[in-house]
Amino acid sequence: AQDYVERGEYTMGAVYAEIAAAYACGKHPGLFTSWELEQLLIKIGQQAIPANTNRISRFSPPKKILHVSTYVSSIGGHSRMIWRWINQDKERSHSIVLTRQVHKLPKLLSDAVRNSQGKIHYLNKNINSSSIISSAKELRKIAEKADLV
């Protein structure tokens, strides 16, 4: 991954970083973080996905909340946590970004998002899902419209 990033091949660097993380999840190395891997991903983000420098500092309570998940299912986990959060926070608008959703979004969750005046974004359906950098750029664009991610 490091070699690809040094050559400016950020997509390949990100792909190999993801492979390393997936391998570590399956064959736990005894570490819960990797400083080197995180620094590499920060560098990819800074070089390949520049931030909006015109971002306005907010001093008021957040009104637009953005939840980000790889995917949600109909049973427990992130979908229930996000659904409960939205249902207990009627004062704000809640949107959700799903980066690799394959199955239909649970109705309880989609209804909760829509009832809060939020939006549902599917990154793997909106853009070229073969490019992790394109997905990250799209995620950043969506996140810039939120008050809290």
Query: What is the tens place of the pLDDT at every residue in 50-83?
Result: 877 666 666 788 999 999 999 999 887 888 999 9
**pLDDT recorded at residue 59:** 75
Amino acid identity for residue 5 in this structure: V
pLDDT 10s digits, 91-101? 999 999 999 89
Q: Kindly indicate the confidence band of residue 44, based on its pLDDT and cuts at 50, 70 and 90.
A: very high
Residue 120, classed as helix, strand or coil, is strand
88/29 same-domain check: no
Q: Is residue 113 part of a domain?
A: yes
Is the per-residue pLDDT at 47 higher than 90?
yes
Residue 37, classed as helix, strand or coil, is helix
Domain that holds residue 83: 64-143
18/77 same-domain check: no
77/41 same-domain check: no
92/139 same-domain check: yes
Q: Is residue 33 part of a domain?
A: yes
Task: Tally the domains of the chain.
Answer: 2
**pLDDT recorded at residue 128:** 52
**pLDDT recorded at residue 97:** 97
80/133 same-domain check: yes
**pLDDT recorded at residue 57:** 64
11/40 same-domain check: yes
- Cβ atoms within 10 Å, residue 15: 17
Q: Is residue 101 part of a domain?
A: yes
Q: Is residue 55 part of a domain?
A: no
Q: Kindly indicate the confidence band of residue 48, based on its pLDDT and cuts at 50, 70 and 90.
A: very high
